[in-house]
Amino acid sequence: MGRLDIGVAGCGIAGLAAALLLARDGHRVTIYERFERPKPLGSGLLIQPTGLAVLERLGLAREIVARGARIARLFGEDANGERVLDTRYEDLGIEGAFAVGIHRAALFDVLFAATRAAAIPLNPAHEVVAAAEEPSGIRLALADGKVSATHDIVVDCLGAASLLGRAEAGWLAFGALWANVALSQDDPFTANLLEQRYDRAARMVGIFPTGERQVAFFWSLKAASYERWCAAGLAPWRAEVAALWPACEGLLERITDPAQMTFARYAHRLARRPAQGRVVHIGDAWHAASPQLGQGANMALLDAWALAKALREADDLPGGLAAFVDLRRRHVALYQRLAWAFTPLYQSDALLPAVLRDIFLAPLSRVGFGPRMQARLVAGLAGNPLAPLGLALPDYSALAG
């Protein structure tokens, strides 16, 4: 296919990766962002082997690994000290495999710098609210009443709250409070471990390293309870967290202002038509889910790669967009179902999901093929997503050097 004029709506992880990949294929790309100064939202995230495979092809994986922390294991216990979660990347059977815990801002900085180096035009303070097709292309309608230039296609990277397409389902009852907290030498946490503690499925606290002597700290919370949490002040909350996981007391002392905590609300939604006319949805704009499986940024990176590949190899635009959907549909559908099934096991007021998790799933994950299956699930490799995209697993020996 020849050179396209592409508008990318949203300057998050999905938008930056898509813009960079499409521009490298020779397309003319323009990014639209609602903030006057582009910035990431949220705290830490895990870059799984799938996402790292895309970043390696972009030439950015080494920098990402250097700025983050290598995660070798995910581990969780309930309030009684019983093991509930134990996933090791070594069980993948891939020598040297790991995930990367990284602050969202660090990942954003690396991708944003790459788009700046590629001289991809960015229009800040352009909040996209709609898209209108014309005979010659498509324009974006902006919140200030203006419209964009005409593009051949628009890539919707506006996330779960995107206004550019309809999606099924909606916001989940639970979200989480997040903070990035500095580590001290006295903190009793392991440098390569994501740790969680649970009280059934109603309460959960967790941390994981994000590099540069910091950790991402998160606390499960219902969206309906957020205002009450803000009004109550930090003291009762600190006591509640410390009672569940006493080792967190030192970290809690460094959270001195509620403004340090960002509340993230989660959605489970799926656009049945990820490509409609001249609009294509990627990342959470297509398939939002809770973060229990740690796949959000990784799925967005895979989508961006698949879109660029499909447009590069297609004879025309409709064929390219259809090929993109075919490349990603099965993997997206699989992880949507898995996220739907796993979320109540870790975020729910009901007792039964936690009982099922502790009595059946936790023991099964430690016998036979259980460890390998669980590791592949968490790594994003269930459903074999890389081969159809022409991607290979990262070269861990080179990245670890």
In the chain, % of residues over pLDDT 70: 99
Residue 132: band (very low, low, confident or very high) from pLDDT cuts 50, 70, 90:
very high
Please spell the DSSP secondary structure of 154-204, one letter per residue.
Answer: EEE--GGG-SSS--EEEEEEEEEEEEEEE--TT----TTEEEEEEETTTEE
Residue 104: band (very low, low, confident or very high) from pLDDT cuts 50, 70, 90:
very high
pLDDT for position 360? 80
pLDDT for position 217? 96
Residue 39: band (very low, low, confident or very high) from pLDDT cuts 50, 70, 90:
confident
Nearest-angstrom CA–CA distance, 115 and 97: 28
- 186-243 pLDDT, tens digit per residue, is 899 988 999 999 999 999 999 999 998 999 999 999 999 999 999 999 999 999 999 9
Domains recognised in the chain with CATH numbers: 5-169+266-399 (3.50.50.60)
In 3-state terms, what secondary structure has residue 51?
helix
| Tokens 């697993």 sit on residue | 393
Is 1 a residue whose pLDDT tops 80? no
Q: Which of 173, 224, 225 is nearest to 353 (CA)?
A: 173
Which residues lie across from 78 on neighbouring strands? 198
Q: What is the pTM of this model?
A: 0.96
Higher pLDDT, 305 or 161: 305
pLDDT for position 294? 85
Residue 359: band (very low, low, confident or very high) from pLDDT cuts 50, 70, 90:
confident
- Cα torsion 146, 148, 150, 151 to 10°: value is -150
361 CB burial (10 A radius; 0-12, 13-18, 19+):
middle
Higher pLDDT, 364 or 149: 149
Is 185 a residue whose pLDDT tops 90? no
| Tokens 């990342």 sit on residue | 283
Interval 15-21 mean pLDDT: 98
Residue 334: band (very low, low, confident or very high) from pLDDT cuts 50, 70, 90:
very high
Nearest-angstrom CA–CA distance, 29 and 251: 43
Nearest-angstrom CA–CA distance, 197 and 203: 8
Q: Which of 261, 190, 178, 247 is nearest to 216 (CA)?
A: 178
Nearest-angstrom CA–CA distance, 89 and 371: 9
In the chain, % of residues over pLDDT 90: 82
pLDDT for position 358? 87
Both structure tokens of 360 = 């059946």
Q: What is the mean pLDDT of the chain?
A: 94
Residue 169: band (very low, low, confident or very high) from pLDDT cuts 50, 70, 90:
low
Nearest-angstrom CA–CA distance, 238 and 252: 6
